[in-house]
Amino acid sequence: MVDRRTPAGHALITGGAGFIGSHLVDSLLADGWRVTVVDNFDPYYDPAIKRRHIAPHLLHPAYRLFEIDIRDGAALEAALTDDYSVIVHLAAKAGVRNSLTDPLGYQMTNVIGTQNLLTFAYKRGIKPFVFGSSSSVYGECPRLPWRESDLGLLPINPYASSKLADEQLGYVYAQTFGLRFVGLRFFTVFGERQRPDLAIHKFARLMLAGKTIPVYGDGSSERDFTYWGDIVAGIRGAMTFVIDAHQPNYALFNLGNNRTIGLLEMIRKLENVLQVEAKIDWQPWQPGEMRRTWADIDKAQQALGYAPATDFDTGLARFAVWLRQTMLIEAGAH
């Protein structure tokens, strides 16, 4: 990764207690930034997990936490009174399958919440705005690998639809209100602190417990897995990009690894690092699921200095060590 990080300032980060957000906070605090985090500790998964993520942050003099729901625009405006160099908006309802059963909830949090943040930025004159989007916006785009220039995207689940709507809102605020908006399309982020509902984490816990893992369809799906450290480096590059007033007001970037790994290959690699055998429970293919994701990362490499540095095997080994340590902590807490 080319070091294109901007000098330390004051970052407002939504979703800063989550998987990616908490790692980003670690990086910024280590580099001398002031960090203000907005997180509502949504019970989508156990909020105690996020509390563990941020426990060291709460002791840091440059860190401040506000427990606010981004759907509450008035609360955001009342609480967030400091001057901020950049907004990094990562808060969202995540997960494809849950969006199928709660499409309105995803619309309210992901679209109305983003609208609130963009309005807040405009009113306060905070132009640099980095948004955490998703590879899911590509839907079943037939052109591979996927490029940011691909047009006519048709998402196939409510989560993806909400993220594409957010990118379009960002364009409106960039073109009409002068914000500098960068949308980062994350491709299947994994590693330490990964959400427990995501496949690698979910499968690993089930395998260690000797339980079956659910595999949907014929196991032929593929993902462009991206280690969290590379994602954080990409976000840092995007922060520098949007702070630079000479850059375009609107840009989208893929943050992926530019290679795909099949589901069954991923399970075999999990078996190796965990030293346990997977017991597969074959299930029907799930509506709204994407069969393949694959990122073209040329644009991010050129504009952000983005260069994935951690391969899948290395990241998976680090995840396995972290998971075993986490499970020991959890066992001691009960």
pLDDT band per the 50, 70, 90 thresholds, residue 95 = confident
Cα gap 45→51, rounded to integer Å: 12
Rounded average pLDDT over 156-178: 97
- Averaged pLDDT for residues 14-40: 98
Residues in the chain: 334
Question: Percent of the chain beyond pLDDT 90?
Answer: 90
**For residue 67, how many C-alpha atoms fall within 13 Å in the half-sphere facing its CB?**
7
pLDDT in tens, 191-230: 999 999 999 999 999 999 999 999 988 888 999 999 999 9
Q: What percent of the chain has pLDDT over 70?
A: 98
Quote the pLDDT of residue 334.
62
Look-up: residue for tokens 């597969």? 280
Residue pLDDT, tens place only, 304-320: 999 999 999 999 999 99
158 within 8 A of 95, measured Cβ to Cβ:
no
Q: What is the pLDDT of residue 5?
A: 63
The predicted model scores a pTM of 0.96
First vs last C-alpha separation in the chain: 41
**Poorest-confidence range of 152-161, 229-238, 263-272, 287-296?**
287-296
Q: How would residue 3 be classed by pLDDT, with cut points 50, 70 and 90?
A: low
54-86 confidence digits (pLDDT tens) = 999 999 999 999 999 999 999 999 999 999 999
Q: How many CB atoms lie within 10 A of CB 276?
A: 15
Distance from C-alpha of 112 to C-alpha of 34, rounded to nearest angstrom: 27
Binned at pLDDT 50, 70 and 90, residue 4 comes out as low
pLDDT tens-digit readout, 129-141: 999 999 999 999 9
Specify the pLDDT at position 235. 98
pLDDT at 97: 87
Average pLDDT over residues 99-114: 96
Buried b (16+ CB within 10 A) or exposed e, 301-332: bebbbbebebebeebbebbbeebeebeeeeee
Q: Which domains does the chain have, with CATH numbers?
A: 10-189+226-258+294-308 (3.40.50.720)
Distance CA 148, CA 237 (A): 17
Mean pLDDT, the chain, rounded, equals 95
Looking at residue 331, its pLDDT comes to 85
Question: Would residue 19 be called left, alpha or beta, if left means φ above 0 and alpha means ψ between -120 and 50 degrees?
Answer: alpha
What 8-state DSSP symbol labels residue 143? S
Cite the active site residues. 159
The one-letter amino acid code at 49 reads: I
166's CB contacts (< 8 A; 6+ apart) are 110, 111, 114, 131, 133, 183
Q: Is 121 exposed, middle or buried (0-12, 13-18, 19+ CB in 10 A)?
A: buried
pLDDT for 172-187, tens place per residue?
Answer: 999 999 999 999 999 9
DSSP assignment of 60-118: -TTEEEE---TT-HHHHHHH--S--SEEEE------HHHHHH-HHHHIIIIIIHHHHHH
Assign 32 a pLDDT band (cuts: 50, 70, 90). very high
Given pLDDT bands bounded at 50, 70 and 90, which one contains residue 285? confident
